[in-house]
Structure 1
Amino acid sequence: MAVDALSLEHPLSEDTLQLLFSASNSSNLENSLEVLISISRSDYGRSDLASRKVLPAVLSIVQSLTQTRHHVLSLCFKLFRNLCAGEAANQNLFLELGGVAVVSGILRSQAGSPCPDHGLVRWGLQVLANVSLAGKQHQRAIWEELYPVGFGSLARLGTKQTCDPLCMLIYTCCDGNPEWFRELSNANGWHIMAQILRTASSASFDEDWIKLLISRICLEECLLPVLFSELRFVDAPKDEDTESNEKEFSSEQAFLLRILPEILNERIRDVTVSEDVALFVFGIFKKSLGVLEHATRSKFGLPSGSAAVDVLGYTLTILRDICAEDSVRGNNGKEDIVDVLLSYGLIELLLSILGDLEPPAIIRKGIKQFENQDGASCSSKPCPYKGFRRDIVALIGNCLYRRKHVQDEIRQRNGILLLLQQCVTDEDNPFLREWGIWSVRNMLEGNEENQKLVAELEFQGSADALPEIAALGLRVEVDQRTRRAKLVNNVP
């Protein structure tokens, strides 16, 4: 029967072996497990094996094996995973027979081993995730076994192979228990998320479970401020004076903000950003602006390699997407988040930043005041990452979309000429031209005062310094009857 080669802590009964051999039509344990894994991939196969009581037999094998037999344990875990994939009878039997404690014990042992088997851990996590889908009782059994110490030790394994299924398990456990999402952001749980974010940041990830987890915690449960603040001290030495270092950001904080724009873009109609979260992001953006004081012109986009620069860029991107989301959704009678941000001086701040930046390269070359060694005046600031100017312009453009009061504010703050200057191709800011056109059109749409001012700029010769307008295939045209000015295509 080829069982003698196995290292057993407890002998297997002949009935257990015969049950497995009969179900698989095999006389070798490892071959039998492999055949059963294949059978259990189908709904019918899982149901048939449930009726044959295969799961208790496999659990007996796991309890009898020493953990040095990783290959056989792995086969058992793969079989558990398949058997518990949507098959209620197997999920319930697994819980009743103490399978959660057995598998969790092996996972904790592996997490504490100097040479853990990451494949074994991965399959074990997948087993528990499938079991957790059976309902609250199953979720609670797993949560009580592993939170917080077990999850923490598994997170510290630090590999993509184990991080993805760990995120899946945590999410599936918490999905029907929103209070547990909150626990992941408190004193006992944030270190689990910190390690998950550290692993995903360094090793990347293949599956979207981490995005679902972050989306739920940070956006749906509105816990971004709590988790972000906790992540600040992940890498700080215990004796470090955190007050003197308050303007810096951790790599985990930067990565957390990096994930949020992806979530907003992928789920723009499914996820609503609360006013509190939007204002928190705006506050972090303002705090991160200090990096501009010592920034140098960068040839690289995000991530830049600097946590401070990344926080600046990602908060700007999040604000851009929040404003785009509000435009797509409409406010449905609720207060517009864009208007809330505007009430805190968003447009004034963006125009100030844009005005302080050195002009795009195409304009710098034609203006003598920028002809120094750097190609920039002493009072101008370079873009800290490739695309910074574009992101500023994109955010302004999204705020302008069908909002006359924003159009008027741009004019009142003398920002029209500044926005016109952004309608250029710029090697340091990919797609600046496209976002510039978007912003200018939003600025002029239905606004006679802005249209008139642009026309006057051209009539006065002020627009002669802006050959980029003509280069775009656009011109200012004034209707002779209505005297209304607008940008139109040069092409008939």
Structure 2
Amino acid sequence: MAASTNSKLDLSSSIAGILNESPCPEHLQALKTCTAALRDKEHRDAVEKEAFSSLLKVLSRLSDELQAASSEDQDLQSVALQLQLTAECFRTQRNACVQSTRNQSLLRELGFIDVSIKLLSFLQTTNLESKDGISEPLRCGIQFLGNLAVGNQMCKDDIWQLSFPELLLQLLNAEDEKTVSYTSMVLHTCLDEAKVEEMAEKNIQLALKVMELCRTQPDLDWTVLIATQHFLKSSALVESMYCGMSHHERVTLLELLFAQIREESSDECGIPPSVARFLANTFQKGCGAVLTLATGSASNDEVLQEALTVISLLDVLCEMTSDLRQFMFLQNHPDLLVTTVELLKQVHAIGKASKNIFSAAQNFSSLNGDDDSSSHSPVISFKAHLIRLIGNLCHSNINNQNKVRELEGIPLILDNCNIDSNNPFISQWAIFAIKNILEHNTQNQELVGELERRGTADYSALKELGFLVEERDGSLLLKPVRKDS
């Protein structure tokens, strides 16, 4: 116990000594000794409130001196030392908070959050000539806020109240990558459902900046975690962000949604049903944009990005309706099936009318890696995914099965059973869709039988793929071909 008491006294006296003298290199060494001591849990638990009070006075004095230096002729050597001392104060504070609810609470009660945030805001916007020395105290100060917030709701709330949105937005726009990374960590730590909703209601610029970082710095894990663990769970924020984004940024948001749905092993991926409804409505309203690609309008980047957004929306809807119970209500979403069938009709007709981006191709060299030209097409697999969505919407749904028949979608899908290098696996998706459309539906089975009798449907492609249409007791079945047939 004597060792702990001595450490406690040394820490207090070291900090108190700094207050009574002008800044000097010895003070920096004294603070470094404090920082090192606080790496030890026994020392952290032994620090008295008076020592923290003295440390806050040191930090406040440094803040005043730096602000004064910014408005007068600067002694660069003195400013550099002040910045080093500031960084070391933040390190001491950072270490004091590690796994110590007691110290977190003490620092909060003493006012460290307010002083630290004001100092960070100053450092981020200052005109100090010693720019090279600013990154270190910025990084350490942000790390302190992160450690202070971990597991402490009151600290999280105070940090959020004092830094949202201006300071957080400033720091996320910093040129220093570590500053951006540490700020993302603090934001992730502080966020909860209520703060996300506040962001949606009052200021989405911070959310848009996070999404921009997801696109421009994909290796920055914290921003991806913020998006997937917080943003995508708020329909209000998703809708607000989507409306405020460029098409290029929307694609990033949709890619994150797609990945979140696919990676979750359970049915509950955290994305609310209202987000699915919003995406379905958005797809229905804007899906015609993809047709402009057939006219060569893709040379216009804005038109291309709008079409790519539609393609990404389709990918997300396909994944959502892949037998995930929480999203299967989309089978009954007004006119989603009608829109998808009609779009498939248009795409198919355009592709047949002349050689264009929607035309079927037999360029199999690209699939072997000999020619990557088709892999650059923005509509690769688009038709196949339209058929996939139709199949998903018809799964065990008699109303949608009937609707496809009424829309003359069955012959359309059968006409897409041929292999197409622009739509890998389109034959398999067509067979999948036909199975779902015919299942337990006598009228649809009879229609396919009539098409066969009239010779208006070509079943050779189905047979080549190992399937045949067989009439049995007045009903039609799609079944595998026997190997010896």
Length-normalised TM-score, structure 2: 0.72
C-alpha separation between the residues in 2 aligned to 1:443 and 1:16? Answer: 77
Residue 292 of structure 1, aligned match among 290, 293, 298:
290
Counterpart for residue 108 of structure 1: 121
SS where residue 462 of structure 1 aligns? Answer: coil
- List gaps (5 residues or longer) in structure 1: 1-11, 20-26, 233-248, 378-382
Alignment of 1:29-108 (within 5 A): 32=33, 35=36, 40=39, 45-46=40-41, 48-52=43-47, 56=52, 68=80, 77=90, 80-81=93-94, 83-108=96-121
Counterpart for residue 183 of structure 1: 198
Aligned amino acid, residue 109 of structure 1: F
Alignment check: 8 A CA contact 2:211 2:223 kept: no
Residue 470 of structure 1, aligned match among 457, 460, 463:
463
Structure 1 residue 36: deviation in Å? Answer: 5.3
Aligned amino acid, residue 136 of structure 1: Q
Counterpart for residue 325 of structure 2: 329
Q: 1:459 to 1:77 in 2, by over 3 A?
A: farther
C-alpha separation between the residues in 2 aligned to 1:179 and 1:88? Answer: 23
- Could you give the per-residue CA deviations for residues 132-186 of structure 1, whole angstroms, max 9, x where no partner exists? 23333212211222122212222322665444443432343232xx332222123
Counterpart for residue 387 of structure 2: 393
Counterpart for residue 417 of structure 1: 411
SS where residue 268 of structure 2 aligns? Answer: coil
C-alpha separation between the residues in 2 aligned to 1:209 and 1:183? Answer: 18
Counterpart for residue 239 of structure 1: none
Aligned amino acid, residue 337 of structure 1: F
Alignment of 1:209-220 (within 5 A): 209-213=223-227, 216-220=230-234
- Could you give the per-residue CA deviations for residues 16-39 of structure 1, whole angstroms, max 9, x where no partner exists? 4999xxxxxxx95587478558xx
Counterpart for residue 368 of structure 2: none
C-alpha separation between the residues in 2 aligned to 1:82 and 1:297? Answer: 62
- Could you give the per-residue CA deviations for residues 394-416 of structure 1, whole angstroms, max 9, x where no partner exists? 32222122222222222222212
Structure 1 residue 350: deviation in Å? Answer: 0.5
Length-normalised TM-score, structure 1: 0.71
- Could you give the per-residue CA deviations for residues 199-237 of structure 1, whole angstroms, max 9, x where no partner exists? 3322334315444446534534543223333x15xxxxx
Alignment check: 8 A CA contact 1:401 1:442 kept: yes
Quick check: 1:355 aligned with 2:345? yes
Counterpart for residue 166 of structure 1: 183
- List gaps (5 residues or longer) in structure 2: 1-10, 19-27, 67-78, 361-376
Residue 195 of structure 1, aligned match among 200, 209, 217:
209
Counterpart for residue 155 of structure 2: 138
Aligned amino acid, residue 262 of structure 1: A
* Count of aligned positions: 424
Aligned amino acid, residue 283 of structure 1: N
Moved more, 53-62 or 99-108: 53-62
Aligned amino acid, residue 263 of structure 1: Q
Counterpart for residue 8 of structure 1: none
C-alpha separation between the residues in 1 aligned to 2:191 and 2:110? Answer: 23
Q: 1:204 to 1:71 in 2, by over 3 A?
A: farther
Q: 1:270 to 1:121 in 2, by over 3 A?
A: farther
Aligned amino acid, residue 157 of structure 1: A
Structure 1 residue 469: deviation in Å? Answer: 1.6
Q: 1:427 to 1:32 in 2, by over 3 A?
A: farther
- In terms of fraction of residues, the more helix-rich structure is 2
Counterpart for residue 224 of structure 1: 238
Alignment of 1:481-492 (within 5 A): 483-491=475-483
Structure 1 residue 346: deviation in Å? Answer: 0.9
Aligned amino acid, residue 394 of structure 2: L
Q: 1:145 to 1:337 in 2, by over 3 A?
A: same
Alignment check: 8 A CA contact 1:160 1:200 kept: no
C-alpha separation between the residues in 1 aligned to 2:356 and 2:145? Answer: 62
Larger radius of gyration: 2
SS where residue 267 of structure 2 aligns? Answer: coil
